[in-house]
Amino acid sequence: MHFEEADRLKSLPPYLFAEIDKLINKKRKEGLDVISLGIGDPDIPTSTDIIETLCKEANDPKNHRYPSSYGLRIFKEAVSKFYMQRFNVTLDPEREVLPLMGSKEGIANIAYTCINPGDYVIMTDPSYLVYKISTIFAGGIPYTVPLKEEDDFVLDIEDIDPEIAKKAKIIYINYPNNPTSATCDKIFFENVVSFAEKNNIIVCHDNAYSDVYQGENKPMSFLNAYGSKNVGIEFNSLSKTFNMTGWRIGYAAGNGEIIESLGKYKTNVDSGVFNAIQYAAVKALESYKIHTEHNNNIYNRRRDMIKKTLDDIGIDYFDSNATIYVWAKVPEGFTSGSFSKMLLDKADVVVTPGVEFGKNGEGYIRISMTIDDSRLEEALKRIRNAL
Ligand SMILES: *Cc1c(COP(=O)(O)O)cnc(C)c1O
């Protein structure tokens, strides 16, 4: 057999840092202690009450059969209650909430649900890569809008070509933002709603970091914007908020018609989220205040440690209070790739080159704080010594 993968796989953007990956593996093989600040995957364990709920429900044979693709009523009610308490947003649990096997799955499948080959999809550069790749998989054309430091990395709607806007099917947005850690306000969301109404575009807001923040200035929901439910949906996830990345549970919430279509598509490609996991997620959502306070205390300490080090060594960064990342500028004379490589060479520390998230990420690195304090301290000490 001569195996040949499909064109859609061949058309994926090349992975730029295979060289850095090789170097990491080589160093680890040599027994060197490489510390990674490169991945966005919480190190904090899932809370034991959530795990206990999973165990109990996993023992119940009624949960051993196919779940409904549309999810358990109790899970959708828990999401609605969470949205009311946390964001003051009303959601009809049956019509306006759909469980997902992690929000990444929904973010990818919404492309298949809504776009026809040749349709434009608007997204930012830099951004989480799934928006672009699922667009390509579904035969759409990604149209990227730069995120600029002078705009505090908030998308400037004026930068969108009006001719493309007329033709576009979806706009993906993401605040608090990965990788820049930028946040936005309600006025921005309202401007996105007007833009979407004017151009008949579906808004997909990715709110994966809604509950990772410092201080009183809490991130909002896109659904807080007046008219948002007419034009879009929000993806949210238990991954970052409840340290449940491995559990694969998230949800889409918002416009009933879009939710229904996404569900219709999904019934044909998966068969729902394991019921025991949905019950565990209910447990998590019910006590979100305790969990988010616990997590944020940890992340706030780490964010402060990173900022302090960067201040001391004179590296500029975007001063944000949200997400699990610090978006820092590479010093004069480096590219994001060469600076990351230098840190790996000299300090055995991995950071993510900004250009991995798009060409406008050049000049930046993303430092992730999902590593325990003592390892983070060691990594920061090594970075100080390397510079
Ligand atoms: C981590 C992350 C997600 C969440 O993915 P899950 O599939 O829910 O684990 C979604 N969007 C962004 C921007 C992320 O960083």
pLDDT > 70 fraction of the chain, expressed in percent and rounded: 100
Q: What is the pLDDT of residue 13?
A: 79
150 and 23, same structural domain? no
Name the residue range of residue 330's domain: 7-45+290-386
Domain count across the chain? 2
Q: What is the residue type of 91?
A: L
189 and 123, same structural domain? yes
Average pLDDT over residues 363-384: 97
Helix, strand and coil content of the chain, in percent to the nearest 5, comes to 50, 15, 40
Q: Which two tokens stand for residue 111?
A: 């492309």
Average pLDDT over residues 129-143: 96
265 and 124, same structural domain? yes
What is the spatial distance between Cα 297 and Cα 317, in angstroms, rounded to a whole number? 21
Is 276 inside a domain boundary? yes
Is 123 inside a domain boundary? yes
Pocket test for ligand 1, best of 41, 43, 79, 104 (most atoms within 8 A of CB): 104
252 and 299, same structural domain? no
Of 287, 314, 331, the last residue of a domain is: 287
Half-sphere exposure of 303 (CA within 13 A, CB side): 22
How far, in Å, is the centroid of ligand 1 from the Cα of 387? Answer: 32
pLDDT band at 131 (very low <50, low <70, confident <90, very high): very high
232 and 133, same structural domain? yes
- Asked if 87 and 224 count as a contact pair (C-beta separation under 8 A), the reply is yes
Q: What is the pLDDT of residue 20?
A: 82
Which protein residues are within 6 Å of ligand 1, measured from CB? 40, 102-104, 128, 174, 178, 206, 208, 237, 239-240, 245, 250
Pocket test for ligand 1, best of 43, 98, 206 (most atoms within 8 A of CB): 206
What is the spatial distance between Cα 238 and Cα 282, in angstroms, rounded to a whole number? 10
219 and 97, same structural domain? yes
Closest CA to 284 of 244, 251, 323: 244
pLDDT band at 3 (very low <50, low <70, confident <90, very high): very high
How far, in Å, is the centroid of ligand 1 from the Cα of 252? Answer: 12
137 and 157, same structural domain? yes
88 and 190, same structural domain? yes
Q: What is the pLDDT of residue 289?
A: 97
Is 25 inside a domain boundary? yes
189 and 139, same structural domain? yes
188 and 103, same structural domain? yes
Q: What is the pLDDT of residue 385?
A: 96
The answer on pLDDT for 170 being more than 80 is yes
Is the CA virtual torsion 94, 100, 106, 108 positive or negative? negative
pLDDT band at 278 (very low <50, low <70, confident <90, very high): very high
Residue nearest to atom 15 of ligand 1 (CA): 178
Is 188 inside a domain boundary? yes
The answer on pLDDT for 19 being more than 90 is no
What are the two backbone dihedrals, phi and then psi, of residue 208, each rounded to the nearest 5 degrees? -60, -25
Average pLDDT over residues 310-339: 97
Q: What is the pLDDT of residue 18?
A: 79
Residue nearest to atom 3 of ligand 1 (CA): 208
What is the per-residue pLDDT across 79-119, written as a single tens digit (0 to 9) for each? 999 999 999 999 999 999 999 999 999 999 999 999 999 99
pLDDT band at 16 (very low <50, low <70, confident <90, very high): confident
Q: What is the mean pLDDT of the chain?
A: 96
The answer on pLDDT for 12 being more than 90 is no
DSSP conformation letters of 246-302: GG--EEEEE-HHHHHHHHHHHHTT-----HHHHHHHHHHHHTHHHHHHHHHHHHHHH
Q: What is the pLDDT of residue 22?
A: 87
Atom number in ligand 1 closest to CA 239 = 9
Is 357 inside a domain boundary? yes
282 and 367, same structural domain? no
Q: What is the pLDDT of residue 263?
A: 97
What is the per-residue pLDDT across 175-212, written as a single tens digit (0 to 9) for each? 999 999 999 999 999 999 999 999 999 999 999 999 99
204 and 91, same structural domain? yes
Atom number in ligand 1 closest to CA 178 = 13
Of 239, 267, 287, the last residue of a domain is: 287
Where residue 207 sits, what CATH number does that domain have? 3.40.640.10
What is the per-residue pLDDT across 115-124, written as a single tens digit (0 to 9) for each? 999 999 999 9
Is 2 inside a domain boundary? no
Where residue 30 sits, what CATH number does that domain have? 3.90.1150.10
- Residue found under tokens 């070509």: 161
pLDDT > 90 fraction of the chain, expressed in percent and rounded: 95
pTM (predicted TM-score): 0.97
Q: What is the pLDDT of residue 291?
A: 97
Is 1 inside a domain boundary? no
Of 287, 322, 347, the last residue of a domain is: 287
